[in-house]
Chain A
Amino acid sequence: MAKVFIYPATSLILSDLVARFGHTPLSAAQSIREHIQTAGLESPPLQISPEDPKKGLKYAAVEVPSGVRGRMSLYGPMIEDADAGIIIHDADLAFGCMGCARTNELIVFLLKKRNIPLLELSYPVNDEEGAEFVAAIRDFLTRLGGVK
């Protein structure tokens, strides 16, 4: 079972398909859950504290806006942990955890830098593309091994 970073990390479609075809999606929810379920000091709504942008310094310099570094503290460790990645290119309507374009550019760059298997796609806009989309993902995930 491979750990597959999904982009957008909030994608319902990718979360579902990766899990459906037998692998583990690495998504924003896991990292948010970790924050929400860890005791500490109150920092609503996401329990991301001013310490988190500092952790993000590992991935982006201090001159990079705090929001980018805070988001990178969620994604950086997952990118390092990923065995593979699926990237949807026209994911420009994913908000919140994927709401910052600069962070998103950095995520894709860091994924590419890791030299892990990556599948790059666009969202399907008709049935024909839907079939191609699903087939490509299943094919990609099958090649990663361990498909149920």
Chain B
Amino acid sequence: MTTPVRIAQLSCGPEYSGVQKEIDQAAKAVDAEIFYPDISLADIKRDFTKFGLDVRSPDLKLAIARAKALVDGRVEADAVFIATCFRCAEAAIVRNELRRFIHENSKLPVVSYSFTERTTAGTLLTRMEALTTIARRRALLARETQVGLTLGLDSGSSTTKAVVMRDNKIIGTGWLPTTDVLESATTVIQLALDMAGVTREKIEAVGTTGYGRFLVGEKIKADLIQEELTVNSKGAVFLADCQHGPSTVIDIGGMDNKAISVQDGIPGTFTMGGICAGASGRFLEMTAKRLGVDITELGPLALKGMSAQVAMNSYCIVFGTQSLVNALAAGSSKEDVAAAACHSVAEQVFEQQLQEVDIREPVIMVGGTSLIEGLVFAMGELLQTDIVVPPYSQYIGAVGAALLSSGFIKEK
């Protein structure tokens, strides 16, 4: 038995929304425990005043004082979970400022979440897992070089990717849309092995990540089974060659999007979203289909168009597609529609998620959608920066898994 990771909860409202048990369950599932930093009324009065954010809600004052106790080291924790009600403006300000405050003044990994009464343990699981990974596996995450012959597999919701690496170089890749999770995994692994010209038996260590990581990981006897937040961050800074210092990783996925503020390759703060498909890679796939082009052609097409010519900003994939059909019917060019679709996705990720992490350059876009040039361009425009898309960016999770799993070779 390992010692549970101690996650300090700073919150307002989960007990009254009926979701505290979901938070506790998600923590328990990754062998962590939630606790509340112990402070006194005098601490609350002093530290709330000192912090200087004059909110009215007493429970937010309490959260602020507890955050101070953590940052000052008066209370020890391994990680911090900040949770407040969705749609509360006062709490959103506190949530953001506390996340920033903890991130800037301590080494504690922190994740924040705004819940509704519908929030489930399942939704929180990957976040909690990432928190515990960062707390537990700092040594593993510090790895910067891949050694030996290793395999990484990313079993994503839309696509399955595999990478074979040898001595810090990618020598084989495989890619397929995810159908049957295990079948897709087996096939892409074979593709990557074939390209690398090696057999499965020669592989010294295996790592899995993505939605299907547990299922596939167990089947192929992976040495490392790890959520995609830490794995993708690692893969991104490795491929973009910025393992030291700050960076921001944006991954617009098929089912959810990740925005991760990274320091020395380790996530500091991160958000995961994906309530509405209008802000996902799936929407761009539908756009390509509607325009009668392959998804690989959508990016170049979008670069030729003007997004401002077409009104498209729906958070919903159904209404978004409707705007698309309307625009085409009204005589808009394919190029403009493609550009508008890219801009719409970028804008929603920007509005919903990037506000919740501190954007620090370089900004690295990864995942399959990073190959859609129009999307990268739209995001760069919104963030007013040149976005870095590293080579093999669509294999980011598999590369991260192959890199990190090489840490297990010595143990064998």
Taking Cβ atoms with an 8 Å cutoff, the residues of A that contact B are 42-46, 48-54, 63-71, 74, 92-102
Contact = CB atoms under 8 A, between A and B. Distances in A.
Contact of A48 (B16, B90, B115): B16
Contacts of A94: 58
A95 B24 CA distance: 21
A67 B90 contact: no
Nearest to B120: A50
18 contacts: A42-B21, A45-B20, A52-B117, A63-B87, A65-B88, A66-B13, A66-B18, A66-B86, A67-B12, A67-B16, A70-B17, A93-B44, A93-B58, A93-B61, A95-B58, A96-B59, A97-B16, A99-B59
Contacts of A48: 15-18
Nearest to A105: B56
Contacts of B85: 65-68
B58 A44 contact: no
A45 B15 CA distance: 7
A93 B56 CA distance: 10
A95 B59 contact: yes
Interface residues of B, number: 33
Nearest to A53: B117
A70 B87 CA distance: 14
Interface string B7-33: 000001111111111001000000000
B17 A99 contact: no
Interface of B: 12-21, 24, 41, 44-45, 55-62, 84-88, 90-91, 115-118
B117 A46 contact: no
Contacts of B18: 43, 48-53, 66, 70
Among B21, B44, B84, the most chain A Cβ lie within 10 Å of the Cβ of B21
Nearest to A52: B18
Given A43-B20, A96-B59, 7 more contacts: A46-B15, A54-B117, A95-B58, A99-B59, A100-B12, A100-B13, A101-B57
A32 to B, nearest CB: 10
A103 to B, nearest CB: 8
Contacts of B12: 67, 99-100
A68 B24 CA distance: 21
B58 A50 contact: no
A71 B62 contact: no
Among B16, B24, B85, the most chain A Cβ lie within 10 Å of the Cβ of B16
Contacts of A51: 18
Given A92-B56, A92-B58, A100-B57, A70 B16 contact: yes
Contacts of B116: 66
A68 B13 CA distance: 8
A53 B20 CA distance: 13
A52 B15 CA distance: 11
Contact of A65 (B13, B44, B60, B61): B13
Contacts of B17: 48, 50, 53, 66-67, 70
A52 B87 CA distance: 18
A98 to B, nearest CB: 7
A119 B118 CA distance: 38
B212 to A, nearest CB: 28
Contacts of A43: 18, 20-21
B55 A101 contact: yes
A98 B58 contact: yes
A10 to B, nearest CB: 10
Contact of B16 (A46, A92, A93, A95): A46
Nearest to B41: A93
B38 to A, nearest CB: 14
Contacts of A63: 87
A140 to B, nearest CB: 26
Contact of B58 (A45, A53, A67, A99): A99
A100 B89 CA distance: 12
B90 A101 contact: yes
Contact of A101 (B14, B15, B56): B56
A99 B65 CA distance: 14
A98 B15 CA distance: 12
